[in-house]
Structure 1
């Protein structure tokens, strides 16, 4: 590659489905030597799309790794050819060297084993390169071809079909494996967008299609428990350790969640001791969180029984005050559902924020207007991202036509008894405040919009509170994403395209 001309580099780009980059590379006269000398900054100047940047840098890195592996292999072969000659020599000096080599036999064996290990790794990388360089899009069904030929953006059901065919085709190329690597996802999505540029959707298509494809593989893997290859991969990549779904949670849950499968029932004085200790520990500033977790595990049955029997919330919080802490609220939710509510909420807001803010239905909303005014005052990316996620969180009820007063009270007093958020100065980084209220009483102070949204969803489940009809569609949508099930069919027409697009592999 170092000796390639500009034309050879351009042909190489076309073979890798990067034909869009050819004019720019010709203009900048990028030959083989220049191609291998590209760094991240140069690639960003040459290539506009992030997906193309990632694929190009990955191909260059793979080539350099392959070249390095070949050089190491050549050196190993040359050493092996010279070694017998040294042993067969009758010269005294050579015999002395031979004795030296015999004394260091262990060291030589160790080096040979290391070379073999490097060679094995190189072969695996080379096999991957062969797969990606020879990949071509599958032959889509007739109805899909018609839609794509008309250069129309496919609807929800058509997107599902495209993703299903891509996933099946990738599985064939991967010889049945259901664990593609990141480079292979990039190659497939890039090939799709190269063949059908209108699917790029204003430059956001690459990430959406890649995430959809990854979710489709996760969906296919989920119900498979006894396939030998899948079990090996699950063990390799840390998914359920090759066990069934029920028993695997105890192995894969975070270290801070250690729930016994069958808690020992406690009665009388034993239960009173635990409850008394929890109340005393809650009053301390320095708490023993590990012991708190253990005692919350032991007392979960009595706590769930009280909630099922509709005991007053004040009584439950009086006996178990740690449920006022966001950490314990999320932990209780995870013990009940085996889902990390906070992690899921972060993913939801990161994926859907831009889509929500671009919807016509919220364009003239006071929250959105307030957001636009505050965005002009800041340039830091982290602050801008935080503001957009906050606005998207607060706009969710308006997107689904629900009653926003049952979701969040922004700069006003809380007036409802069901779980609701109190938000003050949402776009002021220094003075914004979030709190969760239940039965008009403050339950917990929260750090940001992500924690607030997670606490709101968790409160309905942990305290077994019925969801009000006027906020039902918003919470139903959130729960469908948290539990990775199909989103509700009653989505408003104007938001289907904006919000359902990233979800379709889960169907």
Structure 2
């Protein structure tokens, strides 16, 4: 978590947002993670000589705070038995009548809505789902609504592709080695060098609006 960062961690973060020239000032002021989260605009003005640097820093700091807040919320362990969430009325009615648009090759409003609901359900636990998590969620979905099954061996490759793409689009990269290690420990997911340099940042308010799948 950001509030546990050392001054070195903060300096590493400064490098990722192209403000590494200010690292010595941060070291002199002994700015660690807890101090970083408590900086005010007046303090920032003293740390950075130009308005451009101040604007960049404040923008990235706000993004980091949102990321830290979301990380703290994603702390529940994945359940032994996953239960599908309650679906919005429009979606539930369409699933009950086996609407064919769920299986269209082109983009579909209903499929996008379904992916959004599943996405929101998973992010209560993690923003980096493992293969097991995807299988638990989609397996439960196919069991309840068999008509969604596709011709792949798993029966849900199409939905898996859509759901994975949704996570990729929603995650915002924040390159920071210490934070990445925390994420790996918390969620137990091994990733390549590029993927492990991503952390979540998303507004806590979510609407079930159409997205491109």
TM-score bracket, normalised by the shorter chain, equals: 0.3 to 0.5
In our comparison, the structure showing a higher alpha carbon Rg is 1
Considering Cα pairs closer than 8 Å and 6+ residues apart, tell me whether 1 or 2 has the greater RCO: 2
TM-score (structure 1 length as normaliser): 0.20
TM-score (structure 2 length as normaliser): 0.45
- Point out the structure with the larger helix share: 1
